Each structure stands twice: as structure tokens, then as C-alpha cells.
Structure 1
Amino acid sequence: MSGILDTVNLRTQMVGQNRLELLLFGLETEQIYGINVFKVREVLQCPALTEVPRLTTAIKGMAHIRGETIPVLDLSEAIGRPSVPKEELQRCFLIVAEYNKRTLAFLVRKVDRILNTHWDQIMAPPAEIGVENYLTAVFEHDGKLIEILDVEQILADLYPMRTNVSEEIATKEVKTKASEYHILCVDDSSVARNQMQRSLEDLGIKVTTCNNGRAAWNMLNDLTEKGVDVTQHFLMMISDIEMPEMDGYTLAAMIREDTRMDKMHIVLHSSLSGGFNVSMVKKVGADGFLAKFNPDDLAGVVVDRIRKIESRR
């Protein structure tokens, strides 16, 4: 356990090349779950919590950690499992993480270890389990199936977010121009894809979505082989970073290495730390980074791109 506590912050500096490191943890059963180390600030024994009025019992209270007051979310209860009894809280652990510009502490029963793997070993959940679940990916390790939770879906259910774009941005003039354009959005989280699609369609722009980098690459390659200039077909590509089979960094790098599509405008869109991504955006040749999720920020990036193109005409 001490090794995990000592190395989490160092591991978050890992340079991603279609590889990732997962912090493995458990809830109330023997099932093992994983969370990307990039999102983890620290792991600690659950301290005494301050109770607060709340709309959901999944929020167990507030933890005071290094000068910050951080809400504590019981992951078991959030995904519909039995909650942690109050008398057992201090035997549990907190995974302090950053998602969508929000710092949260996830209450878990145990923390196992950090596992180094590759995104091409991570698969989407089987279609047979349906869409009503909190899984974003699965993978097999040592004969066991490790599940990666769709934390964005969990948070969206607990903290519903608006997707409509403000009228100051989505003006009549903007909507008229936007209707001429087409955007490719890539994200493995269905809630994130839906958020992006609703916000961009609020501008009047056409949206095509893919659920991971491999699917996006295959689609772009197929279009290119059919003679389509994808740099003209799509105004831009907005891609998540963490995705099964192929991450956003690798997707951006492969596009830049292909002379048929290397001029495509690429924005990486992620709940990962913005500071880390400044250097990674440059390394893989992307044109920008956008932190999740604010509909006006998303629309603003698109409107700026449209205006630049229109100014050249």
C-alpha cells in the first residue's frame, strides 16, 4: 500500500503512447476495478468526514485534505451497489481524482496496485450487457476481468450538466455559418458523446461520432481511400484522450504522420489535467486542448475555427 501512496503522483507524469497505468481497486465484492493514474492526485486512508446536507446519499460528506475541502463519493452506492456502513468508513480508502474541472474523492473498500498496460488491450464492454451500465471498458489480466468504470456517466447522473450553448455564442449568424460544416467527435463515453453532440447541434453543425480512436482512424482511412479529402470534409476532429483500443494521443499522431490527412484540425478534449496536456498536445501535433465539459467552451473553439476559415474566403 505504501508503494502506491509514494508513487501515484510520479506516475501521473508518464508520457502516453497508447499505454496507460491503472490504479486497481475494489468495492464490496471481489471484482477488481481500474482508474487511470493520470486522473489520480493521491490515495489515502479515509479520514473523519464532515457531514453535509445533500441531495444524494452517495455523497458521504466532506474530507479536509491538505487545505482543501473535497466531497467524498461512495462509488459502490453511486453504481447501485450496497453503500459503505458508517462504522466502516475509516477502514476504507479515498482515491482523490480530478474529473471535468472538479476534484472528488472516491470512497473504495481496498486499493490493490498500479498496473502498466496498453490501450490496445482495453476493450469496450460487450454489447450483450446493454447500454444501461456504468462500464466504459474491460480487459483481462491474469485470468481476471478488470472493469473500468465510466466515471463521467456516474457524475452526469449525480450532477446533471447543461448542454445548451448560450445565446451570446449561438447567434443567428453563427448558426447560419455552422450549418455548412461537419465535425468528427471521438469519445468512448456515451454520455460525453451525447453531451458534445447536443451542444454542437445546438449550433446547427452536423456531427459524426466514433466511440474510440481505432474506430475513428478506420473511418478516416476508409473515407480517404474512397477519394474523400477528410481535411475538407470535416471542419475539425474533437477527440477524447483516454479510449480503449487506441487513445487520442495515438490517433492524433497517426493522422499527422499520414500525408493524406495530416492537415486535419485536431482538438483533444479530456477530463485529464490541463497542465499535463499542454506539452502532450504539442508532442503529438494536435492544434489545441479543451478541458471537459463546458458547452460554451466547446462551442467557442468551434466558432473560432469557423471564423478563421471564413476570413480566408
Structure 2
Amino acid sequence: MDSKKGILLESGTNELEIVEFTIGNNKFGINVIKVKGIINPIPVTKIPHAHPNVEGIIELRGEVLPVVNLISALGLSASTDSSHDKFIVSEFNKQKIVFHVNNVTQIHRISWEQIEKPSDLYQGLESHVTGVIKLNDEMILLLDFEKIIFDINPNAGFNVDKIKNATTVDRSKKSLVVAEDSPMLRKLLFDTLSEAGYSNLEFFENGKDALHYLESIADKDVTSHVQLVITDIEMPQMDGHHLARRIKADNRLSKLPVVIFSSLITDDLRHKGEVVGANAQVSKPEIAELVDMIDKYIL
């Protein structure tokens, strides 16, 4: 997977690369940016009383990493042939996690516009699917890895206590637009931002819908209706980098502060947000830092 470094995409093009992997007869995808490496399975040390979806821990390049059995986490049947099993070493939300899958097949470069949001029939707070890709007469499902980890360790989510009583500033008259595709994270953001006093919140499932809303009010002195935009990076139809670039390229919207709130904010990738003009970037799940950044730009 080291070769992936040579094919990283320019920021704001609304494209991504995904690593396709399989579990049984099902095909799934993970953003290349989240993948640090792919290795053959190595012996796993079991942890007493661990979550059922955690196989144990491994030592890799001097680090001790948890191994999540993605097969059991998704409630699927494993392949009868385990000879092709792989460990996907990932990094997001400031942590490294290894996912055990049946096989890793190839890398695809696609546009976020090719990714359809899940149907309401199977989308919801309990769904692990954030997008569907139709490719070569097959379907590849994009997974909500943040939710998979949250289900194992709820303490890895937002800590509301960090923002309670943090300040007596009145935030109730400030309006925020939030673009976030994960139903679970939309709810967590609503709860935590409301707790912080930001009660005027407009949520959108992707950057495309958020941009359409902003454009619809752009001729009405947009900053009197919206004071700041918060956006995830990974979203069907339009990602957060492209959304930020479109906002900053529109003279009617360019004064709006844009804060990227994503699991992909790392020292190596921060430059991507800077290129598209984001005013600030905060890594999930640092909700207290997010509130501080919102305050900085609009209070």
C-alpha cells in the first residue's frame, strides 16, 4: 500500500480513492486516506472480557494495536476459505485500528457524485452503510467506520461534559450549517452543539445539499442568515473539501467561515483543507475544540 502515496488526489476535486475489500460475498470500501497498510494476518493476543467484535491486540512496528473483526461487527458470514484473509491497518479519529476482512482486491478512483446515499429503508442510526457505489455491474458499500468503533467503545464519541458550563456566552442567536452524512454523528453533533448553546442548526446529509441551500440564500446577505459552516470530509455526492472550495470561490459566500470537522484531520493531510480555503480544521471527536473554533470566528 505504500504505492498509494503516489496517487493521492488534489484537494477539492470531489474525487476519492477507495480500497475494495470483501467479507463473504459482499464488497465494501474504505477511503485510501484511512489506510496505513494491508498485511497478512499475524497472531493475535486475546484480551479477557473484550468486546465480542474485538479479536485482541497485535504488535506492529513497535505499536500495540487493537484488531476488530469486521465480519462479526457487521453480522455477516465469513468466507469458508480464510487463506486470503487480510488485516487492514487504518488510522482515523487520532487512533490506529486494525480491521480483519476476508480479502482485499483493488483500488478504485471515483467521484463522490458516483456514491448514492443509502435508502431510507436501511439507513438510520443503526446502519453501518454511508454510501453505495455501483461499479462494473456490482455494488460496493462504503462503511461508517466511526460508528463501528463507537458501537464497541461509546467513550470514543463526543464528550458533552467538556463543553458544559464552559462559558456563559449567549450562542443562541448564531446560525450554523452542518454537512455530515452519518446519522449517528448528526445526532451527536446536534446534542453537543445544542448543549453548548448553538440552537439554530441546519443539517444536511452531504456537501451538495448544503451548497444548494447556501446558494438559495446567497442573494439575501448570506451572513445575516448563516454565520458559519461545519463540514465533514467524506460525504456522498460532494465531499467537504469540494464544498469548502465552492464556498470560497463564490463571491456571495466567500466571507462565510468554514470549519472542517473530520476523522481525517492529521498533520499529513491538513494541507488539503488549507488549499481549499478552510478557516479551521478539527479532528473528530474533539467537540470542545470545535466549539472553541466556532466561537473564535463568530462571537
Normalising by structure 2, we get a TM-score of 0.92
Deviation at 1:129, TM superposition (A): 2.4
**Counterparts in 2 of 1:28-39, with a 5 A limit?**
29-39=24-34
Q: Percent identity?
A: 30
Matches within 5 A, 1:83-162: 88=82, 92-131=85-124, 132-160=126-154, 161-162=157-158
Q: How far apart are the structure 2 equivalents of 1:286 and 1:130?
A: 30
Aligned 1:237-256 pairs, distance under 5 A: 237-256=229-248
Secondary structure of the 1:207 match is: strand
1:280 aligned to which of 268, 272, 275: 272
Distance in 2 of aligned mates of 1:267 and 1:169: 23
- 1:224 deviates by 2.1
Q: Could you say what secondary structure the match of 1:214 adopts? A: helix
Partner SS for 1:80: coil
- Long gaps (5+) in structure 1: none
- Over 3 Å counting, the alpha-carbon distance change for 1:147 and 1:157 in structure 2 is same
| Match among 174, 184, 187 for residue 177 of structure 2 | 184
Unaligned runs of 5+ in 2: none
1:301 and 2:293 aligned: yes
Quick one: distance in 2 between partners of 1:269 and 1:54?
33
Match of 2:193 in 1: 200
Listed one character per residue, the Cα deviations across residues 137-183 of structure 1 (whole Å, up to 9, x for unaligned) are: 00100000110011112111111134414257633x22xx2112111
- Tell me, what secondary structure is at the counterpart of 2:235? coil
- CA distance in 2 between counterparts of 1:167 and 1:8 reads 38
2:223 corresponds to 1:231: yes
One-letter amino acid of the structure 2 residue matched with residue 69 of structure 1? V
Which has the larger displacement, 209-218 or 55-64? Answer: 55-64
Q: Deviations over 1:217-256 (max 9, x none)?
A: 111111225x2x2223222111001111011111111111
In 2, distance between residues paired with 1:236 and 1:35? 29
Stretches of 4+ moved more than 3 A in 1?
Answer: 8-11, 82-85
User: In the aligned structure 1, how far is the partner of 2:112 from the partner of 2:180?
Assistant: 14
The answer to whether the 8 Å contact 2:117/2:130 transfers is yes
1-structure distance, mates of 2:238, 2:87? 29
Give the Cα separation in 2 of the matches to 1:258 and 1:162: 33
Query: How many equivalent pairs are there?
Result: 294
**Hey, what does 2:4 align to over in structure 1?**
8
Indicate the SS of the match to 1:216. Answer: helix
Residue-by-residue CA offset, 1:53-86 (whole Å, 9 max, x unaligned): 244111001111111110000111112224689x
User: Contact between 2:163 and 2:196, CA under 8 Å: does it hold in 1?
Assistant: no
1:258-313 superposed Cα distances (whole Å, 9 cap, x missing partner) = 1111100001111114223321122111101110112212222123234xx4xxxx
* Counterpart residue number, 2:45: 50
Do the aligned residues in 1 keep the contact of 2:265 with 2:282 (CA within 8 Å)? Answer: no
**Alpha-carbon separation, structure 2, partners of 1:99 and 1:190:** 18
Q: Determine if contact 2:158/2:285 at 8 Å carries over to the other structure.
A: no
Amino acid at match of 1:151: F
Q: Secondary structure at the match of 1:286?
A: coil
Change (3 A) 1:130 1:191: closer
CA contact under 8 A between 2:42 and 2:58: conserved in structure 1?
yes
8 A Cα contact 2:178 2:231, kept in partner: yes
Provide the C-alpha distance between the structure 1 equivalents of 2:165 and 2:15, rounded to a whole number of angstroms: 37
